[in-house]
Structures are given as C-alpha cells and as structure tokens.
Structure 1
Amino acid sequence: VAPVTTVTRRMDTTNLAVSFLRVIRSEWIKFRSLQSNWITMLSAVVLMIGIGGISAWFLSDTISSGGDGFGDSTDPTTTSLSGMMLAQIVLGIVGVLVMTSEFATGMIRSSFAAVPTRLPVLGAKAVVVTGVTFLVMLPTMFASFFLGQVIIGSELNASLGDDGVLRAIIGSAAYLTAIALLGLGLGSILRQATGAIGTVFALLLIAPGLLGLVLPASADELLNYLPSNAGSAFTSIGSTEALLSPAVGALVVLGWVAAFLGVAAVLLKRRDA
C-alpha cells in the first residue's frame, strides 16, 4: 500500500496584507478623485482659520478697550481654535459622504463584489478618512493658533511652550478626525446623506443645549459624555472644572467612534447592498 502523503498548506498572510493595502489604495483613489471631498475639506480649513482669526480680533479689541476679554472663558489658545465648532460639522459631513455617495450611485455594489467580506471596505475608508483629515487639520490648527496669537498681541498671547497648548492643538486635530470617522459610521448605518448629516448636526450642536434644558440638574454631569463636550476636555485650556479630564474625554470620544463604526460593521455584514 502506497503511503499517504499529507500536504499542509499555510495561509499566506502576506497576500492578505497586500489585499487590504489594495483596498486602501482603491479607497484613496476614489476619495482623491472626487472634487467635492477637497472642496468640503477646504471649507473646514477656511472656517477653522477664519473664525479663529475673527474671535482673536474680538478678544484683542475687547482687551484694548479696557474689557476683560471673554470673562472666565478667556484663553488665547481656545479663542484661536474656536472655529472648531463649525469645522466639526463640515468634517462630519465629509465622513458621511465618503460612504453615502457610494450607496447613492450604486458604486458600493462594485466595491462589495470586489471585496465580498465587506468589512475591509469600511476599514479602508476609515484609514483614508483618518489619514487625510488628520494630515490636513494638524497644520490647520497650528496656522489658526499662530494667526490668533499675532492678532491678539503680546498682552495676552500664548506660546507653544505654555501648559496645555500643544495638547489643545494636536487634540483638536485628533478630535476633528474622530468626528469625521463618526460621520463615516453614521453614513454606513443610515446609508442616506440627509439623515446622517442631520444626525451629526443634532448630536454635536443641538443635543448638548437641548438635553441641558430638559434633564434635571442632578443629571448635568451626563452631558460631559456627549462627543462635543468630551472633546472640549482635551481641546480647551480655559475653565474646564465642569468637564472630564483630558484623558477621560479622549477615551469617551474614541468610545463614540468605536460604537458607531462597530454598529456600521455589523449592519454592513447583515444587510444587502
């Protein structure tokens, strides 16, 4: 009787890695080829620097007129980065459209046909959104900060060596990147741009004020766990006594992102394209 030969095949992890890299490359090509992505990203840059500069001018004008700035919340770094309030909405929209635009055009079917497991598509989109948003917003934060300090003048301006300044600048870029990822998750969950954009707007701008009105005073601390308030814990330098610590705030924001992307991943596997 001839001996039976057993052939053991090893999984080629290199091919798996290359496969995911190809998906990332494909998503990058799709992202960069859409002019609307860059226009929206540029809008966030303009809002960030423009509003920061205007806020810095108001602060400088108030101080030069003998006022005390913006009261207890006066901080030159936070003032120069104040454009983040609107920039976060714009970047949330970027994340939403990265996913919903493919559902709207039907291109998502081609993406899933090329990658039947589907999750690498979501992962690759997350990698592209993370890389582009952070690399664009980090220099934008520095530009907004330096412009603001020039406008404010030597009486109150801050420097990079001051306590918390670098944390606020880098943290702001990281926070906006997280919001773009949150938008990506919402876009994947809802698959429809209007609803997802409306949810981003409500979650970031409407919910903090509305819940502050309807919740009892004893529950006010819960508001710190909303994305925008948690983000303020590590992007602001002024009076933050009512906020979470910077580390806890960062973990809360990451938790929101993980929750939305996690739900998106589950639904992506279960639903039809």
Structure 2
Amino acid sequence: MSISIATSPKTTSHLGTTTILPLVGHTRLTWQGLITSEWIKMRTRVSTYWLGGIGIIMMIAMAVTSAIQSIGGNVSASSVMTMATGGVVGAQFCAMLLGVFAISDEYHTGQIRTTFNAVPKRIPVLAAKATTVAIASFILTFASITVSLIVAHILSGRGLSFGYFTLDILRMYIGAPLYMAFITIISLMVGAVIRKSTGSISVILLILWALPGSAVMLPASIAGIVAAFMPSTVGSALYGSSSGGSDQVFSAITPQSSITLAPWLAFIILIAYAAIFAAIAIQVTKRRDV
C-alpha cells in the first residue's frame, strides 16, 4: 500500500542528547494504495474464491454440455464460440455477488468506517472498488471462455484448429468478459446504495430478471422495444452469436424484439447504465453517514 506522508524534522533534547523526530503532517492514500488495499480485501474474502470457482465451473460445464450435444453435427466456428460463452447466463450471478460483497461486507463488519476515514472524499473508494472487481471479473471470464473454447473445440470434433478468428468471433470473445465486468460494477453501485447483501441482490435480480420478464405485460408494439434496451438484452448484443443480439440472456421470458443493436451501440448503452448507477451511488454515499 502506498502512503505519502508529509513530514518535517522536530528536534528534542533530553539530558544533553539531541533526538530528531519526524512530525507527521498531512497523510494521503494514493490511487495505487487504494487499488492495492481493495485487491487485498478482495483476495482475503473466502466468497471471492467460491464465486470465482463456481463461475468457472459453470462456464466450462455449459461448454461441455453443448459440445457433447453437437457431436456428429456440422458445427460452425460461431457455434463453438457460442458454446464457450453460453455459461455467461448462469455465471453472471457470480459476478453479481462479487460486486455486492465487495462493499456490503464492509458495511456489515464496520470496516467501511476505516476505509472512509482514510479516504474522506469517498468517491475514490468507489472507483477503486469498481476497478478491482471489474478487472477480476473480466480476467476470470476471459480465462473461463478460453478453457471452454478449447474444450468445446475438442468435444465437438473440430480439434485444435483455431485459425478462424474473424472480427465477429473476437467480438464474442471480448464481449462476454466486458458484460461480466459491467455486471460487477452495477452490482457494486447497488450495494453502495442499499448496503445490505440481501436487499442489493434483490434489486439486481429485479433489474436483470424481473423487469425484462415484466415487459410481456406491455402492448406488443412496445414490449419488444422496452426489452431490447434492458441491460441483460443489451449485454447479449456484445457476445451473442449475431450482432443483433438475438441470443437474449433470458430469452425464455423476454419479449422478442425486431430491434437489432450493433455491438458498439450496445457497449455505449452499457456504459451509460453504469454511469447512471455510479452517479446515484456517489450521491448517496457522499450524503449519508457511515
């Protein structure tokens, strides 16, 4: 942890002996120190390893299941990548919990007081937490997809030939980790507002699951439009098998839409969602006592 301390020498005298003591003045926790601090907190939580492990297993298990079912068929390159990213549907809940626990655990134990005493402005704390969990989620998802892709290739009969990386395949490869990072960020911000794990998880499930499903109660002409801009369906445009985002995360309960979002537009919309959640979390955190 990097801490910069402004000091000036102070001379004291006792029985003819002169001692120079440092005078501690302004103490400031640097950005590097904040990131290091949040990294230590995250890797010392048991839940981090459980969630990371479960997420990886879910991703690989989905790829294995899909690949086995495709044995004997004519499997395309995009289909294999879809197998590798199919586990995002379930693993996103591990990312959700990772983001929530990053801040709700500190409120539960009271450690958040120490954190905010070290960084009274509080905004850098949220930024450091968001950066840490987002990077962790991205790396874990990317690694899981890589392993899942290799497994799916072998089991589907395509062997280890990976010379097909088109821009669309790369979009799916990078889009899934980006979506998972987005999930951790909004979950962290919801946790900063609600403070309680159960309440935060309920709100996020409402956003990702209940709201898309509730769109079916709207008129058919509106339901598809509303569903197309829900966070979960927007995210699917980043890693779905088509750039139109037809592979919706909750396709079984979400109204189908004729609107197709380009990956770059989906990415911008997700950033806008994250910015809105972050703005709310910042305002609430700044105004409320610990």
TM-score range, shorter-chain basis?
A: 0.7 to 0.9
In the alignment, the residues of structure 1 paired with residue 266 and residue 44 of structure 2 have an alpha-carbon distance, to the nearest angstrom, of: 35
Rounded to whole Å, the distance in 2 between the matches of 1:99 and 1:244 is: 33
Q: Who is 1:245 aligned against?
A: 262
Tell me if the contact between 1:53 and 1:148 (Cα under 8 Å) persists in the aligned partners.
yes
- Aligned to 2:70, the other structure's residue is in SS state helix
- State TM-score, norm by structure 1: 0.83
CA distance in 1, matches of 2:136, 2:162: 28
CA contact 1:77–1:158 (8 Å) conserved in 2: no
Alignment of 1:86-97 (within 5 A): 86-97=90-101
Q: Does 1:264 align with 2:281?
A: yes
Corresponding residue for residue 171 of structure 1 = 175
1:214 matched to 2:217: yes
Compute the TM-score of the two structures, normalised by the length of structure 2.
0.79
Contact 2:92 2:183 in 1 (8 A): yes
Q: Check the 8 A contact 2:237/2:243 in 1, yes or no.
A: no
Rounded Cα–Cα distance in structure 2 between residues aligned with 1:60 and 1:35: 38
Does the 8 Å CA contact 2:29/2:119 hold for their aligned counterparts? no
Residue 35 of structure 1: aligned partner = 46
Q: Secondary structure at the match of 2:93?
A: helix
**Structure 1 or 2: more strand by fraction:** 2
Residue equivalent to 2:105: 101
C-alpha deviation, 1:163, in angstroms:
4.6
Q: Do the aligned residues in 1 keep the contact of 2:55 with 2:94 (CA within 8 Å)?
A: yes
Give, in whole Å, the separation in 2 of the partners of 1:75 and 1:97: 34
User: Residue 16 of structure 1: CA displacement?
Assistant: 10
Q: Secondary structure at the match of 2:30?
A: helix
How high is the sequence identity, in percent, across the aligned residues?
A: 29
SS in 2 for 1:272: coil
Larger radius of gyration: 2
Asked whether the 8 Å contact 1:171–1:234 carries over to 2, the reply is yes
Amino acid at match of 1:38: Y
Kindly provide the CA deviation profile for residues 193-246 of structure 1, in whole angstroms up to 9, marking residues without a partner as x.
Answer: 0011122223223322231x1121111122111111101111012483643111
- Following superposition, the deviation at residue 159 of structure 1 comes to 5.3
Runs of at least 5 residues in structure 1 that lack an aligned partner in the other structure: 1-14
Going from structure 1 to structure 2, the CA distance change for 1:160 and 1:107 (only over 3 Å counts) comes to farther
Name the amino acid aligned to 2:156: I
Q: Report SS of the residue matched to 1:75.
A: helix
Alignment correspondent of 2:272:
255
Opposite residue 124 of structure 2, the aligned amino acid is P
- Structure 1 residue 54, shift from structure 2 partner: 0.9
C-alpha distance after superposition, 1:26-59 (max 9, x if no partner): 1111111112112111111111111122122223
Q: Aligned pair in 2 of structure 1 residues 17, 128: CA closer, same or farther (>3 Å)?
A: farther
SS of residue in 2 equivalent to 1:194:
helix
Give distance in 1, aligned partners of 2:114 and 2:157. Answer: 55
- Of residues 54, 70, 94, the one that matches 2:65 is 54
Distance 1:123 1:230 in 2: 24
Q: Structure 1: how far apart are the matches of 2:243 and 2:43?
A: 40
Structure 1 vs Structure 2 CA RMSD: 2.4
Seen in structure 2, the aligned counterparts of structure 1 residues 160 and 205 have a Cα distance that, compared at 3 Å, is farther
Q: Please give the secondary structure, in 2, of the residue aligned with 1:60.
A: coil
Alpha-carbon spacing, 1:267–1:50, altered in 2? closer, same or farther (3 Å) = same
Are residues 255 and 239 of structure 1, via their aligned partners in 2, closer, same or farther at CA, if it must alter by over 3 Å?
closer
Answer whether contact 1:27 1:125 (CA < 8 A) is retained: yes
Q: Distance in 2 between matches of 1:103 and 1:201?
A: 21
Asked whether the equivalents of residues 100 and 188 of structure 1 are also in contact (C-alpha less than 8 Å), the reply is yes
